[in-house]
């Protein structure tokens, strides 16, 4: 009588390892890969807005899967993918997770020279970066026209730079730490609006003057940024620029030469520290 009761138990014991092997492994707080090109959705619904399009074999970080949908993220975006569109098996030719985690998205950057840049992703390896920079300086100087007449010169100079950069990107893990790092290189072009004002006091005939100039500039930049987190990076950028200075427009009478009232071709090189945020 005991044999019939034990037979189903024994059969289940034999089949259990096979059933466990066939069951999909749970995906929670792990790296998974897309089985095919798929859209990353804003909500766990097939009709929800697509926030990004991921290629086949792209690594994503899976937070949790519920009701057939997985909450996933990359360095630039977060969203939802169907659980059946993901696998834990690394596909042949899949990019390294460190490279995938720095897939560039929209960024906001600042440097130590008051420049603000935007990073607009044009793909996994291309970024368009509009930029703006504003600098204002004040100065005061003194002079003598005779032995008894002394005058003061109050001056101000302002520069507004507008430009755009076009960069090729390459993401690589940094050893031995393994942190993802983004390298980029490309051309930059733009305009510079330069103006100066001079006000002279204590003369018999006061003298005021203003002058302005519009320059065209072109150059290139080479830089790298280390992804401290999925939404923040710190890096450095080396630049070379040629400035084609325009003709000055002077209004009023000057007692001394205004630097902006000159026209020549200038070459500048500089290095800056860049902080970028990925909202």
Report pLDDT digits (tens) over 191-250: 999 888 877 766 565 667 788 889 999 999 999 988 777 678 889 999 999 988 888 887
CATH 2.40.160 positions along the chain are 107-277
Residue 236: the pLDDT is 92
Residues 23-47 have a mean pLDDT of 82
Rounded (5°) CA angle 91-107-170: 45
CA–CA dist 275, 232 (Å, integer): 8
Higher pLDDT, 253 or 125: 125
Residues 37-52 have a mean pLDDT of 89
Closest by Cα among 198, 185, 213, 179 to 257: 198
Q: Dihedral (C-alpha) 82, 84, 86, 92: value to the nearest 10 degrees?
A: -140
When pLDDT is cut at 50, 70 and 90, the band that residue 22 belongs to is very low
Residue 176: the pLDDT is 47
CA–CA dist 74, 230 (Å, integer): 8
pLDDT at 189 exceeding the cut of 80:
yes
Best mean pLDDT range from 142-146, 172-176, 193-197, 264-268 = 193-197
Residue 210: the pLDDT is 82
Residues 152-177 have a mean pLDDT of 79
Least confident of 83-87, 127-131, 173-177: 173-177
Least confident of 120-134, 163-177, 234-248, 264-278: 163-177
Residues 246-272 have a mean pLDDT of 68
CA dist 198 to 48, 156, 205, Å? Answer: 60, 7, 14
Rounded (5°) CA angle 59-65-69: 85
pLDDT at 11 exceeding the cut of 80:
no
pLDDT at 1 exceeding the cut of 50:
no
Residue 20: the pLDDT is 38
Residue 129: the pLDDT is 92
Residues 128-143 have a mean pLDDT of 81
Residue 246: the pLDDT is 83
CA–CA dist 278, 226 (Å, integer): 13
Residue 18: the pLDDT is 44
Task: Give CATH for domain 107-277.
Answer: 2.40.160
The domain made up of 15-94 has a fold known as SH3 type barrels. (2.30.30)
Report percent pLDDT > 70 for the chain: 68
CATH 2.30.30.40 positions along the chain are 15-94
Mean pLDDT of the chain: 77
Q: Give pTM, 2 decimals.
A: 0.60
Q: Tokens 């600042």 appear where?
A: 110
Higher pLDDT, 20 or 7: 7
């Amino acid at each position: 009588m005991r044999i019939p009761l034990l037979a189903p138990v024994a059969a289940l014991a034999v089949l259990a390892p096979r059933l466990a092997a066939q069951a999909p492994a749970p995906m929670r707080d792990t790296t998974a890969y897309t089985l095919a090109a798929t859209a990353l959705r804003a909500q766990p619904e097939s009709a929800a807005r697509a926030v990004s399009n991921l290629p086949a074999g792209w690594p994503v970080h899976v937070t949790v899967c519920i009701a057939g949908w997985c909450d996933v993220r990359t360095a630039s975006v977060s969203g939802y993918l169907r659980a059946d569109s993901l696998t834990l098996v690394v596909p042949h030719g899949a990019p390294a997770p460190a490279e995938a985690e720095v897939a560039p998205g929209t960024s906001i950057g600042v440097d130590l020279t008051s420049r603000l840049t935007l990073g607009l992703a044009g793909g996994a390896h291309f970024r368009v970066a509009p930029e703006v920079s504003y600098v204002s300086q004040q100065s005061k100087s003194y002079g003598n026209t005779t032995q008894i007449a002394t005058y003061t010169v109050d001056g101000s100079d302002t520069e507004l730079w507008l430009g755009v950069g076009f960069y090729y990107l390459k993401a690589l893990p940094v050893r031995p730490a393994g942190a993802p790092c983004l390298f980029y290189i490309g051309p930059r072009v733009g305009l510079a609006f330069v103006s100066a004002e001079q006000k002279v006091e204590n003369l018999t005939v006061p003298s005021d003057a203003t002058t302005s100039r519009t320059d065209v500039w072109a150059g290139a930049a080479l830089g790298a940024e280390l992804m401290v987190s999925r939404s923040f990076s710190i890096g450095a950028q080396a630049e070379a620029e040629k400035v084609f200075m325009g003709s000055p427009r002077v209004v009023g009478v000057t007692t001394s030469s205004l630097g902006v009232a000159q026209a020549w071709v200038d070459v500048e090189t500089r290095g800056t520290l860049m902080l970028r945020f990925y909202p």
